[in-house]
Amino acid sequence: MSDKYIEKSFLYLLCLSLLIHLGVFALLYYLPETKQPPPKEPVFVDLQQVPALKPQPPRQQEVKRFSEQRTRVEREMAPRGASPHEVAPAVPRPSARPQPPVAGRTAPRESTPPVPSGSSISSLLRPRQQAAQQQAPPNLLPGANRMAKLEDTYRRKFEKDVDEGDTRFLNSDDIQFGSFLRRFETSVYGVWRYPAEAANRGIEGITPVKITFNRRGEIVHVQLLETSGSRILDDEVLRTLKEVGPVGAFPKGYDKDEFNLIAFFQYGGTRRALR
């Protein structure tokens, strides 16, 4: 095979390939474009036009029959008495007539059946006086009048010191020393006890004291203003104040080196209160 024949064959194949490519491009160019369908518009449904559903009657479930044949059951009858018309005669009750009161006699009270003490009904049948006595709270601390008089006496006595600003009462509403007084009260309740001997013997009383603090919040002096009438109670107050540690520094606005506090230790009914 000569070289010229090979060149001619190659040229023919090249021309055929070009014609095929041109035909494909022309076909793609002149074909009509496919149009996409337009989007569907939303359909609005009015719920008010929907017909109401009719309630369907409940369907009864068919019970499986245990026997294919129907049988008749004998009718049950109660046993008859001696006479078909035998009825117990009704006994008429005698009507209670009011009896006239007899002079010199009182009408007898209706006796109530005994009620066990542990039942809940027994609390409702107690006399009113007994219930009132049980509801009254016991007086566990010394009288309020005595406490008010004692506070009034010492407020007049230390009125000058309170005005100068270096003395406060524990139960006073002082904004400056409020936090300091609450810390002291918390520390006291942590170590203060009611003496067992005094509680068993029912000894009560009030011990007023004057306490002096330094700027570190330490107790440097305790003055017993008045005895409670019992040395046991007074000694317990002094012991408590010795065990109370520093309660913190003074407020920033207080520039004095010492601060005095007047407190009342109350004992009564195995309880104790600090004022």
What domains can be seen in the chain, in order of their start residue? 144-274 (3.30.1150.10)
Quick one: pLDDT band at residue 235, thresholds 50, 70, 90? very high
Where helices occur in 31-76 by DSSP H, the ranges are none
Are 254 and 197 in contact, with CB atoms under 8 Å apart?
no
Alpha-carbon gap, residue 139 to 145, rounded angstroms: 13
Quick one: pLDDT band at residue 115, thresholds 50, 70, 90? low
Quick one: pLDDT band at residue 184, thresholds 50, 70, 90? very high
| Share above pLDDT 70 across residues of the chain, in percent, rounded to a whole number | 69
Find where tokens 């603090």 sit: 213
Q: Please give the pLDDT value at position 242.
A: 92
Q: What is the DSSP letter of 206?
A: E
Instruction: Identify which of 244, 190, 255, 191 has the alpha carbon closest to the alpha carbon of residue 218.
Output: 244
Q: What are phi and psi of 181, to 5 degrees?
A: -65, -40
Highest mean pLDDT among 80-89, 99-108, 155-164: 155-164
Name which residue leads in pLDDT, 270 or 261: 261
CB atoms within 10 A of CB 275: 16
Of 165-169, 172-176, 229-233, where does mean pLDDT reach its minimum?
A: 172-176
Overall average pLDDT of the 66-72 stretch: 69
Alpha-carbon gap, residue 57 to 177, rounded angstroms: 82
Of 62-71, 128-137, 251-260, where does mean pLDDT reach its minimum?
A: 128-137
Highest mean pLDDT among 25-39, 97-111, 162-176, 234-248: 234-248
Instruction: Identify which of 211, 209, 189, 208 has the alpha carbon closest to the alpha carbon of residue 271.
Output: 189
Q: What is the DSSP letter of 264?
A: E
Q: Please give the pLDDT value at position 241.
A: 94
State both tokens at 163.
Answer: 């005005």
Distance, C-alpha 188 to centroid of its chain: 30
Find where tokens 């008749």 sit: 72
Alpha-carbon gap, residue 143 to 141, rounded angstroms: 6
For residue 80, CA distances in Å to 84, 86, 87, 88, 89 come to: 7, 10, 12, 15, 18
Q: Is the pLDDT of residue 37 over 90?
A: no
Of 56-60, 94-98, 157-161, 187-191, where does mean pLDDT reach its minimum?
A: 94-98
Alpha-carbon gap, residue 200 to 94, rounded angstroms: 65
Of 4-18, 27-41, 95-109, 152-166, where does mean pLDDT reach its minimum?
A: 95-109
Overall average pLDDT of the 116-131 stretch: 50
Q: Is the pLDDT of residue 90 over 70?
A: no
pTM: 0.48
Q: Is the pLDDT of residue 127 over 80?
A: no
| Share above pLDDT 90 across residues of the chain, in percent, rounded to a whole number | 18
Q: Please give the pLDDT value at position 124.
A: 47
Q: What are phi and psi of 263, to 5 degrees?
A: -130, 155
State both tokens at 142.
Answer: 């010394």
Alpha-carbon gap, residue 275 to 260, rounded angstroms: 15
Alpha-carbon gap, residue 151 to 154, rounded angstroms: 5
Q: Please give the pLDDT value at position 1.
A: 58
Q: Please give the pLDDT value at position 211.
A: 93
Are 186 and 239 in contact, with CB atoms under 8 Å apart?
no
Across the chain, what does the average pLDDT equal? 76
